[in-house]
Amino acid sequence: MPGWAVWIVVAVACVVIEIFTPSFFILWFGVGALVASLAAGLGAGITWQFTVFIATSAALIPSTKRISSQWLSRRKETKTNIYGIVGRTGYVTKDIGESCPGQVRVNGEVWTACSSSETKIASGTKVEVLEVKGVHLVVKALGEQVCE
């Protein structure tokens, strides 16, 4: 098999590996192999082919951090677990007292909740979740009565 074909096989193998490990690291060895393939096609000896492969790969590897950080910064941060509930609305299922917690239903789940203004919120009142404090939700009344 001619030298340029071997480098093409190496390049394709690197791209396939990169598909399964999206790190933008192996990809640069694939690009280096393509450039080495070009050198082999132009008649360069094996020493020059390896030199071109190593130099090209080494020159491109520092761009990994820049490219991957740009790719990752485009992702929208997803709130998970209990922090995904902040900003959601629900309704009071058990009266929230001035100093004692009640219960609210948000996203189909029942949570222990306290009022943000430390005022009483009656059962059936629509509320918005302002924050999570430990295992309690801090809510504010939206003033609407919801049928339970």
Residue 63 or 146, more confident? 63
Query: Do 92 and 63 reside in the same domain of the chain?
Result: no
Q: Which of 73, 89, 107 finishes a domain?
A: 73
Extract the tokens encoding 52.
Answer: 């071109």
Query: Do 69 and 113 reside in the same domain of the chain?
Result: no
pLDDT of 40 reads 95
pLDDT of 133 reads 87
Q: Which of 13, 38, 73 finishes a domain?
A: 73
Give pTM, 2 decimals.
0.47
pLDDT of 100 reads 77
Mean pLDDT confidence for 109-137: 89
3-state secondary structure of 118: coil
Mean pLDDT confidence for 71-84: 66
Q: Which of 14, 46, 73 finishes a domain?
A: 73
pLDDT of 66 reads 74
| Structural domain containing residue 93 | 81-145
Query: Do 56 and 34 reside in the same domain of the chain?
Result: yes
Query: Do 25 and 64 reside in the same domain of the chain?
Result: yes
**CATH assignment at residue 93:** 2.40.50.140
Query: What string of H, E and C letters represents the secondary structure of 40-108?
Result: HHCCCCHHHHHHHHHHHHHHHCCHHHHHHHHHHHCCCCCCCHHHHHCCCEEEEEECECCCCCEEEEECC
148 pLDDT exceeds 60? Answer: no
147 pLDDT exceeds 60? Answer: no
